[in-house]
Structure 1
Amino acid sequence: MRIDKYLWCIRLFKTRSIATTACKKGQVKVNNSAVKPSKEVFGDEIVVIRKNQINYQIKVLDLPTSRLGAKLVDLYRKDITPKEEFEKTDLLKYSKDYYRKKGTGRPTKKDRRDIDNYQEDTEEDL
């Protein structure tokens, strides 16, 4: 089975064309090598998918004949993604909210001056 079709069948991507695009961009790796969408996938292979800034690691258990219901997905794949990958996402979320609240717009002149003063202070400390 093609890798793009497999990823679509196990519901990692909403459409097959999105799965194909992810393969073309190099976001899908099979056994640590980037693959084209037409790459055949077999059982007991490790597939790494970069999606939403998380590297999902999936072990292929079996190949489905068609797209599956959400309850049956675990029969055909095993998620071996380390917990650290999900913790990185939480840290990223906190780092984005650190400086500015969402929806407050561009930085003001005062914000820019504060940034410049901070940079000058850190350069003096070195």
Structure 2
Amino acid sequence: MRLDKFLKVSRIIKRRTVANEACDAGRVMINNRVAKASTQVSEGDIIEITFGNKTVKAIILDVKETSKKDEAKEMFEYLSD
């Protein structure tokens, strides 16, 4: 699955266009590498997103094409630094 779509489906970022812009700006990293919106993600990948001065780090637990709001929380787990 594409990175921008995963961020939207998992509800880490609410809109796909915003996820796309974050990727284009170089604020999203997968496994310590800057990632483009089209980068494929899989289970076990670690995503790091910079929002202003805050950094969010999460590990992908499940990749689904669609999810309900309750199921979205089970697709990833936040990691503490």
Higher helix share: 1
Q: Which residue of 1 aligns with 2:76?
A: 77
Pairs aligned (count): 81
Query: Where does structure 2 lack aligned partners over 5 or more consecutive residues?
Result: none
Let me know the Cα RMSD of the aligned residues: 1.2
- Distance between the aligned counterparts of 1:53 and 1:67, measured in 2? 29
- Distance between the aligned counterparts of 1:49 and 1:73, measured in 2? 17
- Fraction of identical pairs, as percent: 27
Q: Provide TM-score, normalisation by structure 2.
A: 0.91
Q: Which structure is higher in RCO with an 8 Å CA cutoff and minimum separation 6?
A: 2
Q: Is the 8 A contact 1:10 1:68 kept in 2?
A: no
Q: Provide TM-score, normalisation by structure 1.
A: 0.60
Q: Which residue of 2 aligns with 1:31?
A: 31
Query: Where does structure 1 lack aligned partners over 5 or more consecutive residues?
Result: 83-126
Higher strand share: 2
Which has the greater radius of gyration? 1
* Residue 67 of structure 1: how far off its partner (Å): 4.3
Which deviations, in whole Å up to 9, do the C-alpha atoms of 1:60-98 show, x marking residues without a partner?
Answer: 0010221431x222211011033xxxxxxxxxxxxxxxx
* Alignment of structure 1 residues 1-126 onto 2, 5 Å: 1-69=1-69, 71-82=70-81
